[in-house]
A and B are shown apart, each in its own frame.
Chain A
């Protein structure tokens, strides 16, 4: 008796074989691939736009001029460390008695800090932009 409608499972089926010879399953793959490419392009454009805006804000706001990570725009080591500069560690205590000795010590440490400021004899002086300096 012929048995119809039963699939002979002992025989491996070819999955690549289309069920209907008229349908193109690769159309789905094509659409998916195109969407993926489109997603990549969109992501790139958004990233590019946001980075551009961020850099514009960074520049226009002036933060770039305060940025201490720019190479060459930080003081050299010899400009910071003037030999034995332990004043950076000194912090005047917020609590405690106020006596003449305390104030003398305070002024002594403060004087060292002030001397470091005074080493720049003419900060932002006019000479650097004078006609003679620039050769105008």
Chain B
């Protein structure tokens, strides 16, 4: 009896501690492909995957690292712009009774997209890691299906980066307009 309760006590943390999964991407996840990339796997492509599986996995691992570096660099820059430029500017404008609603809306949008950028990156990297860990020689079909999903998520990352860049450009335009009014 003692042993039963003891083993039950030991196994409790495993069942209680539920893993928290990252949120799904902000935009619907569907396997999209560029017009130049075929969505179906041909026999030739299958042969190439099986033949170059090891090299492909190495490339994917390197891509993981380079994407992580890009994410850190861009993320830091976005945070720097938001924290040291946009937010203090809006605060200063409020202090000087020059509060500008479009600028504040721009700041809020930028903060939201910045958070989405991180969430989407986690989702993308999870799938990329799954892809890099797959045995493409054994299951080239599954590998290619997963590759299509990773491409879609990478495209989402690209769109996030473009949206952030666009919001920063909008901010600059608004500040230029404000400068003209002074």
Interface residues on B, range: 35 or more
Looking at the complex, which one of B20, B22, B96, B125 makes contact with A98 (CB distance below 8 Å)? Answer: B96
- A73-B68, A92-B85 known; 11 new pairs, CB 8 Å cut-off, are A49-B13, A57-B20, A61-B20, A62-B126, A95-B92, A120-B73, A134-B52, A134-B56, A135-B56, A136-B48, A136-B49
Kindly identify, within residues 61 to 102 of chain B, every residue whose CB is under 8 Å from any CB belonging to chain A: 63-70, 72-74, 77-78, 80-81, 84-85, 88-89, 91-93, 95-96, 98
Chain B residues near A (Cβ < 8 Å): 6, 10, 13-14, 17, 19-22, 34, 36-38, 45, 48-49, 52, 55-56, 59-60, 63-70, 72-74, 77-78, 80-81, 84-85, 88-89, 91-93, 95-96, 98, 118, 121-126, 129, 144, 147, 150-151, 154-155, 157-158, 161, 165, 168, 172, 175-176, 178-179, 182
Chain A residues near B (Cβ < 8 Å): 42, 45-46, 49-50, 52-53, 56-57, 60-62, 65-66, 68, 70, 72-76, 79-80, 88, 90-100, 103-104, 106-107, 109-111, 113-114, 116-118, 120, 122-126, 128-131, 133-136
- Report chain B residues within 8 Å CB of A93: 88, 92
Is B10 a contact partner of A110 (Cβ separation < 8 A)?
no
Interface CB pairs A-B, < 8 A, 6: A73-B64, A73-B69, A92-B85, A94-B95, A123-B161, A134-B56
Bound together, the chains give a CA A99 to CA B151 distance in angstroms of: 47
Looking at the complex, which one of A70, A98, A99, A113 makes contact with B77 (CB distance below 8 Å)? Answer: A113
Is B85 a contact partner of A109 (Cβ separation < 8 A)?
yes
Bound together, the chains give a CA A50 to CA B92 distance in angstroms of: 49
| Chain A contact residues, majority secondary structure | helix
Is B121 a contact partner of A134 (Cβ separation < 8 A)?
no
- Report chain A residues within 8 Å CB of B85: 92, 106, 109-110, 113
- Report chain A residues within 8 Å CB of B88: 91-94
Looking at the complex, which one of A53, A92, A94 makes contact with B17 (CB distance below 8 Å)? Answer: A53
**A54 closest partner in B (C-beta):** B17
- Given A91-B88, A123-B161, the answer on whether A103 and B179 have CB atoms closer than 8 Å is yes
Bound together, the chains give a CA A88 to CA B81 distance in angstroms of: 10
- Report chain B residues within 8 Å CB of A79: 69, 73
**B22 closest partner in A (C-beta):** A62
Bound together, the chains give a CA A105 to CA B89 distance in angstroms of: 12
9 tightest Cβ-Cβ pairs between the two chains A and B:
A62-B122, A62-B22, A65-B125, A124-B157, A60-B19, A73-B68, A124-B158, A53-B17, A94-B88
